[in-house]
Structure 1
Amino acid sequence: MTVGPGTQPGVAIGPMINMAAVEKINRHVEDALAKGAAIVTEKPTLPEGPQYVAPLVLTGATKDMELAGEETFGPVAPLFRFETEEEAIALANGTPYGLASYFYTENLKRAWRVGEALEFGMVGLNTGSVSMEVAPFGGVKQSGLGREGAQAGIEEYLEMKSFHIGGLG
């Protein structure tokens, strides 16, 4: 994955929004490494500038790591081990956040079962993209207060009122 200015062709990952975001990402990675995770990706050449972060895949992620309980908002993919579907769902749902989740399967029954069990505002099945203009964007739990985009986004600006009228006249 090429890291650089988002205006350049072929760039997949641009700079982080600010230095606080970079520091949070680095803190999450350092915490994970200190608790037994391992980096399994090669570090790409980063452009000059303080707000670029290398994309990382970490193996050996566990629930006691900061990145398991806080939203990282950076190019870090922690991989958690699980034995059963139920364990995977519990790991995913075991956080106070619920913006988006993603999973891969060719089994349609499993797709519906897992998709319904995941406590997230958006679920991607066999895709890493869940954002589009025709679908509402937003999370649940501590990841969302409402939706933006599509009809649901318009409804966020409206006040609902129920007006019941009894017999007149």
Structure 2
Amino acid sequence: EDSAVEKVQRHLDDAVSKGGRIVAGGRKLEGQFFEPTVVSEATGDMLCAREETFGPLAPVFRFKHEQEAIDAANNTEFGLASYFYSRDIGRIYRVAEALEYGMVGINAGVIATEHVPFGGVKQSGLGREGSSHGMDEYLEMKYLCLGDILR
């Protein structure tokens, strides 16, 4: 497997070769660091749209309609976390419910803490860790129905 920095570089090179434009960053730094990078004109056929980069590469996709953005976001085998910004409460609920991700950040960049269930769907894993839900994998639930014991 490529090192994290090599993977970021590979995803960046692929994006640029397919019409992406580096808006900020774009350089490997000393050691195992890569400059935070923004690429505009991103498209669904780029590696950064189909694989998890796990590095400081932010592709920017254009869309005209809400459903286009939802469809593009869901068109992946991964589903750990997604993020979007909106002030429209109707849109917030529509989009958040339609996104096929285990966690959705709305108007927030940091969504994981020890108090909330952390986990994804699809190829990003099943189950949750953190919060009381993180214990569910280790427990067996039992239902007890107790009839009238006073007779």
The equivalences for 1:87-106 within 5 A come to 87-106=68-87
1:56 counterpart = 2:37: yes
What amino acid sits opposite 1:130 in the alignment?
I
1:133 counterpart = 2:120: no
Corresponding residue for residue 75 of structure 1: 56
SS at structure 2 position matched to 1:73: coil
Closer, same or farther in 2 for the Cα pair 1:149/1:97, shift >3 Å? same
Corresponding residue for residue 8 of structure 1: none
The RMSD of aligned alpha carbons is 2.2
Normalised by the length of structure 1, the TM-score is 0.80
The equivalences for 1:5-20 within 5 A come to 20=3
Q: Which moved more, 1:115-124 or 1:22-31?
A: 22-31
Contact 2:83–2:105 (CA under 8 A) maintained in structure 1: yes
Deviation at 1:119, TM superposition (A): 0.4
Identity across aligned pairs (percent)? 57
Deviation at 1:42, TM superposition (A): 4.1
Q: 1 CA distance for matches of 2:113 and 2:86?
A: 22
Q: Which deviations, in whole Å up to 9, do the C-alpha atoms of 1:109-160 show, x marking residues without a partner? A: 1001100000000000001111011100010000012111001111122244
Normalised by the length of structure 2, the TM-score is 0.89
Higher helix proportion: 2
Query: Alignment length, in residue pairs?
Result: 147
1:117 aligned to which of 98, 102, 106:
98
Q: Which moved more, 1:153-162 or 1:122-131?
A: 153-162
Q: 1 CA distance for matches of 2:120 and 2:11?
A: 22
Closer, same or farther in 2 for the Cα pair 1:121/1:133, shift >3 Å? same
Q: 2 CA distance for matches of 1:20 and 1:136?
A: 29
1:158 aligned to which of 139, 142, 145:
139
Give 5+ residue unaligned stretches, structure 1.
1-17
Q: 2 CA distance for matches of 1:115 and 1:43?
A: 31
What amino acid sits opposite 2:17 in the alignment?
A
Corresponding residue for residue 85 of structure 1: 66
Q: 2 CA distance for matches of 1:108 and 1:55?
A: 31
Give 5+ residue unaligned stretches, structure 2.
147-151
